[in-house]
Structure formats: C-alpha cells, structure tokens
Structure 1
Amino acid sequence: MSSEIPDPADDTALAARVETARIEDEMEQSYIDYAMSVIAGRALPDVRDGLKPVHRRILYAMHEAGVTSRSSHRKSSSIVGETMGDYHPHGDSAIYDSLARMAQDFSMRNPLVDGQGNFGSVDGDPPAAMRYTEARMASIAEELLNDIEKETVDFQANYDDRLEEPSVLPSAFPNLLVNGSSGIAVGMSTNIPPHNLGEVIDASIHLIDNPECTIEDLMGHVKGPDFPTGANIVGRSGVHQAYKTGRGRVRVRAEFEVDEAEGQIIITELPFQSNKARMVKRIADDVNSGAIEGIRDLRDESDRDGIRVVIELKQGAMAEVVKNQLLESHLERTFGVINLSLVDGTPQVLTLKETLEHYVSHRKEVVRRRSEFDLEEAEDRAHILEGRLIALDNVDAVVELIQEADDRDHAKEELQVAFEFSEPQVNHIVSMQLGSLTSMETQEIEDEYEEVQATIERLNEILGNESELLGVIKDELREIKDEYADERRTSFIADTGTVAHADLIPEQDVVVVLSEDDYIKRMPLATFKAQNRGGKGIIGTDLKEEDSVSSVFVANSHDYLLCFTNKGQIYKLRAFQIPEMSRTARGKSAVNLLDLDDGEELAAVVNCEEVEDEAIEGDRFLTMVTRDGYIKRTSVSEFQNILSTGIRALRLEDGDELVDVEVTDGGRTLVIGTAGGMSIRFDENEVRAMGRSARGVRGITLTGGDTVAGVAAVDTDRHSWVLTVTENGYGKRSNIDEYRVQSRNGKGLIDIKTNARNGDVCAIETVGKGDHLVAMSNGGQIMRTPVEGISTVGRNTMGVIVMDLDENDSVACLDVIPREMITEDIKEQSAEITEVLEE
C-alpha cells in the first residue's frame, strides 16, 4: 500500500481529511452556484449581442455547418442534433423550441432563422416535429456573425472541451433592442420588447456623435417598442418610464375598426404575444354567458395575408359599449418591460442609454480587434509582396541561383544570403511559377502592393484615431439600416384612461323600483309606454306576500343618485349599480347596495352627478322636508365625501321621518303638501342654509294628526304646475298662482279635497309642459302618462282619475320624467293622447 493513502484503520488520518461545514452555509453556496448557472448560462441575454446561450449556439452551429442564407435549407433535426452534440448539452425540445421561435415572424421583429414548413402560428399552434421542418440562417442573422473568424470575440471551450464556441457574437446591430428577449431566471426575470431596426440604429449613431446626450434625446429616435404584430401603444408614459428606469408598463391595444353602418367591429392587429384562437374563444364564452352583450356573430376570417376577426353586432346594439366591453377583457394587454440583461456576466437592469452604451462599447472592441487582425494580415501580405517585387527586379540572378542550388533548402539559404529575404518571403519565392514572371503579372503585383499599403495606412488610421473607428461603426450601421430597416408597425394612440366600468354600460333611461322589504331593481324606461290617464298600467314588479312598493324613480343608467332614507341618512349610488331585471322579477336585496338598518327605507332620490365629479358651488341646495313639517336647506357641497355606509343628512326628532327632497338654486318657490290635502307656499330663502347636523325649521303647522306628503320646488321662470296625486289614484294640476304666498310655519290653504273617493295625498310634484308622470301602486302596477293629460283645475277641488287601481290597491309613489329624457316617438305619442283628451 502506498504511503500516501491513509490506512482506514488509522482514525486520526481519516479525521484529518474531514472538513466541518455549517449546513446553512453549504446550502446557501450551492443555491447561489445553481442560480448563477441558470442566470448566466440559460435564462438571460447578453447585452452585447442580445442572445441567450441557446440562441447563440444554434446560430454558431449553423455558421460552422455552412447553413447560411445562401445555402439550401437543412432539416431542423440536423441543426438541433449538431447544436446539442457540439455546444448545448440540453434537451432537443428546448433547442428546437428556440430555433422555431427565431423563425416566427410574429415573435421576432427581424427573424434570425429562415424556416420552411410549419413553425407555429399566432393561434398558439405548436411547430411541426423537427423531422418535418427545414431551416437556414436568415441574412440578417449573418450580420451577427460577420468577422467572427477574425478574432473579434473571445472563445471558450465547449462542454466537453473538444471544441471552442464564442462567448458572444460580433453583432453588427443592436439585436437586444431590435428583437427583444424574455426569460425567467432564479429570483429575476427579463422582458425586453422588440424595436424598429432603423430607429435603434439612428439612436446608436446619435449616441456615438453625442456621448453626453440624455435619454430624452435618444427617445427622439426610438419612439417606443415596435411589435411584429403591430397594434397600438396607448400613451407614452409607460414607454418613457421603461426607457428612463429600465422598468415600465406599456399598454398595447388591438387595431380594430368600428363600422356602425354595417354593424361590425373588425379586428386586424393583435397585441404582441396574444393568442388569437384563445381570444376568439373567450369572446364567444363571454357572449354566451351574458358578460358581453350586443354581439350576434363572431367569425375568424384570418389568412396568410393577415388577421381579420369580424364581430357582428345585434340590431340596435351600441357599438361604443360593445367596443369598451371588448377592450376591458380582450383587446388590450399590458406589456411589463424589465430591461434586464447580462453585463460582464452580471445581471443588471439598464436604461435605454445604458443599453446602447454597452452595445457601442462592444462594437468598438469588435472593430478594434478586427482592424488589428486585418492589419496583421495586410502587413504579412505586404511583406510577401515586397519580397516578390525584389525577386522580379532580380529575376535572372534569382533563377540562376535556384538552378545552381543542390536542392530546395540550399536554394532558400542562398537566396536569404544574397537578397536578405525573410523565411516567409523565401518560401513564397521558391514556390513561384514561371508564368508569374510575365510583365502583366509584375504589374498586378505592383498594383496589389499599392492597395495593401493603402489598406495598412487606413487600418493604422482607424486604430490610432477613435473618431475614425467610430466612423467605421456608424457607416456599417447605416449599411445595415439601408438593407434591412422597414417602417414601424406599432402606432401610438392617445391615452384616454383605462376603460372604466361605466364605459361598459349603455346609457339609457331606466325606472328603479324599491319595495318595503328592500328589494330593488331597474328596468328600461322604454318598457313602459305612455297611455291615457286613468289606465291600469302594467305589472312593474313581482312582490312577495305582504310586501309593497315603497319608492319608484326615473333616472339615466349613468346618473349619480343621492338616496335619502326616512331616517335621514344619505347614500351615493350609480344607477347602473342597481341590477337590471325584467318587469316580472322581484329584484335584488338592497342591503347588497345600501347599508340600510331595520325599518329604514328610501324616502327620496335625486340626481346629482356633479357631486362625484367636481365641487359644487354654494348656489345649489338640497331642500328636505320631514313628516312632522320641518324643512331644511343644505348646500350640495356639504355632501362631497359620502361614505359607503352613508352619512347623516339631517337630525330628526324622535318619531319624525324624512319625507321628500328637492334640489333648489336659491330662487325657487316652495310648496309643501300634506296628506290631509293642505298646502303652503313660501319663498325658498325664508329657510336659511344650514349644516348637515341641523334639524331645520318649521315649514308648516300641522293639525289634527296631519303629516307632510312632499314638497314641490317651482321655477317661476318656467311655465310649471303643481301636481297633486292621492293614494286612490286621483290627481290634478294647478297653476302656481293658485297658491298664495305666505310665510313659512303657517297652516296653509286647502290644496285638494281628501275625501273617501280620493283618499290621502300621496305626493306633490312640480311638472312642466312635455313631462311624463310615472305612478306605481303598492301592488306593483306601473302607469306612465303625459302630465298634460291630467286636467288643470284650481285648489280645493276633487281632481280627476289618474290611475285605475284594483280593489284594495293604492298609489304608493310617483316620479316625474323631465321632457329632456323623452324620445321623439314618445313625444308624438304624448301629443296624440293630449289631443284626444282635449277633444
């Protein structure tokens, strides 16, 4: 046994060979080694040539095999096999996937591989098996490898030390930005978008000419990413952020055309990395599930000439709403830019300028090393030509000396002694053919010698003057631009903000119904056609047993609503947040929309959209009246910040409730009506403006257990009437002049007779010419009629039938549709009804 091998029986010798290590330290170092192997060896591109190792090895293997753009196509399996066997010791599927991606014109802005066969599609179809496809290098890929044989880059041993492979390619253009890259390493990822070749080259030249330029200067040339699939970048802020910091979010929107005349939306370009087939399927699924409304047909008419997806709209569908629904879920994507690449083997997030600076630095090194290589070859050639010219000038002596020599070696020695030739020169001379001694050959050698001398002078100039070296880089970049650059495919469009939920909802006038048990829903107003007064109307909601209607109001689906409860609480709601349902549906529990307490119900709803969007000046007020006769005015500006749980609108005494609310402007005449048929008119300014916590002041003095039914805010500049409706379906219009102006807190005057026929007053409203009345009974019947069909009579009268009610039914509530919300066809219908009534 050798004395160098310890005896196993010798415990001391064995113990000396054991090293103690902390397990956490060993695991940490092992994980770091693994992470760096993945980062540097597989997942991240090099900032200089923009390639990961697998792409670099595929191109180099094709270069070594002569599979260039001028050769015939080679089976992909052959290329994969040579790459795997010589340079990339990983699975063939990973290599083939990388090869296929370099051939996809929808993945690469300037594909590096010229593929023949099925290399996949924008529908997500995988490439055919590698035994069926063929490939060769694209001509632009050769620009990445040009001059690699001139020692322009460093080489390293391949995985089994049999061969050498380049650690980076010479890369005659900034491929990292032109074709982009994506990859996931350990603890980091990169996602670099592709760019327009011409723009990137212009920026590189600008940087060479102006090393102190700013990123903003470079962005004057590089407008933004230029995706192979075209589409549109929404706004420029995300692009600017990415170029300035190395990270940013770029919104990319499909290119489409809305043809309202044909009722079509035609999609012609998709965001980068979108799967067209999956997008079409998801749109179809959303249409079938009801998530997208207004689409009747969906066709994919795409072919080799480009993408064409046709979406047929239903008759009457709003193209703008359908477009916004598609944008929200299908036609817009966010490209998260992470400009992470390897710089000297270390991952770094780079700005646009830093990326170009590293590339220019790489090209300077490449051109310098190439120039040194060419200079050495030129000087060697000049040295040979100098010897040859000397030999031609002394041809007789040279020939004689060679003839007299015993052998070739003796001839070389004699020539070196006689003419002081160097070893390379004498080797060349003794190998010359007799035909090269002609005068024509002599002239060609002299011409070549002059050319070589000019080349040497030029190469020395390049190596001795950095501005000349940079000039060479710029000239070569311009040549590549002239040969390969094309127009931008991706355009910019203005950023109008992301699609809000409101953009997905058609604007339409709706009727909202709320029951005593807090069921709420909305229905299109067009569902309820106008009819003569005294009609029964149609069913408006399906009520549970012992439930009844508590409130009905009309609004636009996009209106902001201020919802006041009988307890004096106020909530804010968009009308489209109320679920849309059919006439016969019960509705949805309001507790899902409003935080109502037990016994709390809606008392009034007013439209106040501007409260959400901007501060209201102090000339608009919410005027509130309570059941016990109190009235209060509060500036709308007090209700700017309404919580989801609501805020207090006024303070109520025990047993009192809020009854009605009107929006006033400081110049209205107020008429308070009571259930017992009394009314009082006074000027709005008799009620001073108060804060939200105030109770208010007495508006009317009630007698005999009477209660307030509502308040009408009359604009005396507009021809308006006061409309009073009773619970048994009777009502009347009266001119405002019929109501004598009094001071508030009086008992008032009789407004309408509340006898057994009429019943108590249900509501009092201000109406004008062209308005419609929507009345709803406790049993769920809704009737709509023009207000001009209701007779105009004085105070203290019986009124006429407004709504025909079933036995034991009564009017629960009503609302007025302003004439501005009424369409032309309904206006014509109203005119006909009014004409009939007048006759």
Structure 2
Amino acid sequence: VITRRTKFDLDKAEKRAHILKGYQIALTNIDRIIELIRASSDGTVAREQLIEKYGFSDIQARSILDMKLQRLTGLEREKIDLEYQEIEKLIVELKEILEDEAKVYEIMKKELLDIKEKYSDERRTTIEEERMEILPEDLIKDEEIIITYTNKGYIKRIEANKYKAQRRGGKGVSGLNTIEDDFAEKIISASTLDTMMIFTDKGKVYNIKAYEIPDLSKQSRGRLIGNIINISEGEKVRDTIVIKEFNPEKEIVFITKNGLIKKTSLGEFKNINSSGLISIKLKEDDDIIYSGLIEEVEKEEILIATKKGYCTRFSADIIRATGRNTMGVKAITLRDDDEVVSAMLIKNPETDIFTITENGYGKRTRLDEYPQYNRGGKGVKNIKCTEKTGNVVSVLEALDDEELICITSNGVVIRMSMDAISRFGRATQGVRVMKVAEEEKVASITKIKKEEEIDEE
C-alpha cells in the first residue's frame, strides 16, 4: 500500500513540476510569448508556435494558454517559484522512499503506531473457540402467515396482516385466482419459522419449512406443491400440522373419513426424508380428514364432526399410541350417508366450539353442551343442517381474543373477530357468517390471534 501510494504521489508531483517549469520559462519570456499569442490566428496555432519556438510540451503549452493574467503579478510569480521548489524536494523524498525498503518499513511503523494511539481501546469483538453455524432460519423474519392450497395442489403463503378484518356476514376479498375445475381446499395459519408436516391421501407425510413455501400476492394461484416437495403424481394433500420441534413426548392424532382414530409419537417422524414417510395405513375407501398435535394427553380432548351435523367428544388418553404403519381404531359410528368432515383437539376447557357449513352459516356453542362419551359412539347433534345451510365443513376452538379466517372454493377470503359470532345451542343452524355465491362453498377455516386494532370495512 505504501509503495503504490508513493508511486501515485510521485507521478502526480512530477506532472505538477513539469507544468510549473513551463510557467517559469513563460514568465521569463512573457513579453515575446504575449506577442506570439496575439499574432496567432487561433489557439491551435498559438499552441503549435509555443511548442516549436520554446520547446514546451503539449501539456505545458495548453497550461500557458489557460493561465490567468493575475499570474503575471510579482506575488504570483513568487508563489510559482516557491511551489516548484517544494515539489522538487517532495520528488526527491518520494524517490528515496521507493529506492530504500527500510524507509518503507519506517513509514509503516509510524503509521501503525499512530493508529494504535488513536484507536487503542478495549477489544469489542468477543473471541470464542466455538464456531457458530449460520442457518437459513437465522436470516428469516419470524412473522404470522396464512397458507392456502387448492384441490389441484397449488400452495402459497401470504402475511396474515394482508387480510383486514370485516364484520360478520361480509363477502370477503379475493384470496387467490383458481383455474378451471380447481377450488380452494385448505387454509391454515403458521409462523415463517415453523416446520409444516404435510399429510396426503396415500397416508404419507412430508415436511417443509413454512418460509420455503412461495410468498405470493393475494390474487396469485400459488405454485404446484409437487415442485416444492417430492410428492408423487396423483397424490393429494389432506391435512397439515405446524410444529416447532419434534418432541417425542408429544403425539400426532389422525382421524379418517370413515371414523377411525390413531395416535403416534411425534418422535417417530423426526427423520422424514425427501420421499416422505408412511404415517397411517389407509383402506382404499378411507382418507385422512384431520391430523393434530397432542401436547398434554391427560388434559386434551378430541371432538369429531360429521357432514350431516353430528359430533362426538372423548378424552385423548383413552386411545393407545401405535406405530406409523397402523390403521387405528373406531372413533365414531357413522349414520347412513354420513362421513367425518372435521375434527379438533380441545386444549382449553373454557373454549367454545365453532362450526361452519358450506353455505357460510356458523355458530359458537359452549363446550359444556357436548357430553363426553367413550370412543365408538354415534354422537349427538352439533348443528342443524338444512338445504339453506348446507353440510358441515369444519369445526374449531373459538375464543374471544381470536379472529376467524374463512376461504371459499373460489378463493375468496374473509377475516373477522370471533366475538362477533353469536352463541347458540347445539341443535340450531346458527347465523350467516359469510356470504357465498350460488356456485360457491366454504372450503376451509382457520384462526389467528386478534390484532390490537381492527379495520372494519
């Protein structure tokens, strides 16, 4: 650095000395030079005459022609002589530095001591023996997101605050553009740093970090899930669990369309490879309807809801945990032309049960109105299903400090405060929660914590 800097300064000094030498010669012969310039037809001719008669270089001749008249004063001439003398001394000094390596090291020592004097304070950086690895998660902002996917496998995520709250009974806003014969099937809330366990109709499970799902606009259809995880052709997503870590003390519970239930330790899913793992053994006519994470098995209960408006409730600890490649046991005895459409884990004994139907009718019902049974019973009436309300779509826990997000088959999304939805008894049809078009149905619901301020439109 010192050598290159010195060479640069030397080159600059020599160029300046060259111009100053030209000034000195010009000032010594100033009368004849002025006469020469006056006699020239233009600047080019004057420059050529100066070069020819006085031996100036091109740059000296140009500098003389550009010189201001004030340089002709005695004081200005003294300044030029003084500057030339100083430049000559500097050139000698710079050449000595370049010719003597010892001088370079003297400069280096002096400058380093100056730096030490100026910046000598206690070390601010902590030196540790352990080398910390920077993971992708360290660079991701932890924020609440909404994930949607369609029947044909298009998935996307969007920040939860992009959906503003509305009053009950609103029409909602467009949440995605679906293609022909496709429809929105599921909506879930998560955090960007969560791990998503994705369960399919083949009884397999895959996992992906939530931030790896494409972050797209509200109107975007999404990306094919087959381009994100190694899902096989024709395989469809059925449900998703959001987890922070694979704690073996927690359990996953599965509910199937035909009313079977199974529990498996979360620890058995720790090493999910890119081709997935078997999570449950399914019969040909059966399918996964619900998967949930049991965190405290002695305190949690399971509620299972059917298409025709019936449900059953029982304790989670009456089901024995089994391995991944098992089928499970009967959870509910289904009536004719009925099937399981939704289920939930009851984690808060003070909660309400929120139920919504295809045509946007829903209600909250106090938990204590649902009697506890052993598994395998037919259950009790959960909601009155009519032609106006349509069949049941989903159930979930409902607390006043939460907000409900619904998505329709056409991708229209509505977000509203849970405390805006009235409480009714079990055998009632509820109120209109969301207006849906004639050929449209409510597809899925989820919930998030309520924001402090809500924009009502």
Fold similarity call, TM over 0.5: yes
Cα deviation for residue 617 of structure 1 reads 4.1
Cα deviation for residue 768 of structure 1 reads 1.8
Deviation digits for residues 665-704 of structure 1 (CA, Å, limit 9, x no counterpart): 2021111111111101111111111111121111001121
Aligned residues: 373
Asked whether 1:568 is paired with 2:203, we answer yes
Cα deviation for residue 103 of structure 1 reads 2.5
Using a 3 Å threshold, how does the CA distance of structure 1 residues 493 and 681 change in structure 2: closer, same or farther? same
Residue equivalent to 2:359: 728
Q: Which residues in structure 2 correspond to 1:290-309 (within 5 Å)? A: none
Q: Aligned with 1:689: secondary structure?
A: coil
Tell whether the 8 Å contact from 1:528 to 1:784 is kept in structure 2 after alignment: yes
CA distance in 2, matches of 1:682, 1:766: 15
More relative contact order in 1 or in 2 (CA 8 Å, sep 6+)? 2
Cα deviation for residue 116 of structure 1 reads 1.2
Q: Aligned with 1:567: secondary structure?
A: coil
Flag structure 1 segments of 5+ consecutive residues without an equivalent. 1-100, 106-112, 120-132, 146-171, 180-196, 199-227, 229-480, 834-839
Residue equivalent to 2:213: 578
CA distance in 1, matches of 2:4, 2:286: 75
Residue equivalent to 1:143: 102
Using a 3 Å threshold, how does the CA distance of structure 1 residues 579 and 633 change in structure 2: closer, same or farther? same
Cα deviation for residue 593 of structure 1 reads 1.1
Asked whether 1:683 is paired with 2:315, we answer yes
Asked whether 1:546 is paired with 2:171, we answer no
Cα deviation for residue 601 of structure 1 reads 2.2
Q: Which residues in structure 2 correspond to 1:352-431 (within 5 Å)? A: none
Residue equivalent to 1:782: 413
Residue identity matched to 1:657: D
Task: From the two aligned structures, give the one with the greater helix fraction.
Answer: 1
Asked whether 1:534 is paired with 2:169, we answer yes
Flag structure 2 segments of 5+ consecutive residues without an equivalent. 13-89
CA distance in 2, matches of 1:771, 1:779: 25
% same residue: 28
Q: TM-score, normalised by structure 2?
A: 0.74
Residue equivalent to 1:657: 287
Say what the alpha-carbon RMSD is for the aligned residues: 3.1
Residue equivalent to 2:39: none
Structure of higher CA gyration radius: 1
CA distance in 1, matches of 2:303, 2:115: 80
Aligned match of 1:646 in 276, 279, 283?
276
Q: Aligned with 1:788: secondary structure?
A: helix
Q: Aligned with 1:610: secondary structure?
A: coil
Residue equivalent to 1:559: 194
Residue equivalent to 1:810: 441
Using a 3 Å threshold, how does the CA distance of structure 1 residues 104 and 701 change in structure 2: closer, same or farther? farther
Residue identity matched to 1:690: T
Tell whether the 8 Å contact from 2:254 to 2:261 is kept in structure 1 after alignment: yes
CA distance in 2, matches of 1:484, 1:564: 62
Q: Which residues in structure 2 correspond to 1:55-74 (within 5 Å)? A: none
Residue identity matched to 2:220: A
Residue equivalent to 2:453: 825
Deviation digits for residues 308-366 of structure 1 (CA, Å, limit 9, x no counterpart): xxxxxxxxxxxxxxxxxxxxxxxxxxxxxxxxxxxxxxxxxxxxxxxxxxxxxxxxxxx
Cα deviation for residue 491 of structure 1 reads 6.7
Cα deviation for residue 503 of structure 1 reads 3.6
Q: Aligned with 2:95: secondary structure?
A: strand
CA distance in 1, matches of 2:113, 2:159: 61
Tell whether the 8 Å contact from 1:540 to 1:780 is kept in structure 2 after alignment: yes
Using a 3 Å threshold, how does the CA distance of structure 1 residues 758 and 599 change in structure 2: closer, same or farther? farther
Deviation digits for residues 115-168 of structure 1 (CA, Å, limit 9, x no counterpart): 51579xxxxxxxxxxxxx9643549965389xxxxxxxxxxxxxxxxxxxxxxx
Residue equivalent to 2:64: none
Q: Which residues in structure 2 correspond to 1:6-85 (within 5 Å)? A: none
Using a 3 Å threshold, how does the CA distance of structure 1 residues 679 and 142 change in structure 2: closer, same or farther? same
Aligned match of 1:712 in 337, 340, 344?
344
Q: Aligned with 2:239: secondary structure?
A: strand
CA distance in 2, matches of 1:744, 1:789: 33
Asked whether 1:750 is paired with 2:343, we answer no
Residue equivalent to 2:242: 607
Asked whether 1:625 is paired with 2:260, we answer no
Aligned match of 1:596 in 214, 219, 231?
231
Deviation digits for residues 169-211 of structure 1 (CA, Å, limit 9, x no counterpart): xxx99xxxx99xxxxxxxxxxxxxxxxx79xxxxxxxxxxxxx
Using a 3 Å threshold, how does the CA distance of structure 1 residues 768 and 104 change in structure 2: closer, same or farther? farther
Tell whether the 8 Å contact from 1:115 to 1:136 is kept in structure 2 after alignment: no
Residue equivalent to 1:116: 9
Residue equivalent to 2:334: 702
CA distance in 2, matches of 1:776, 1:116: 71
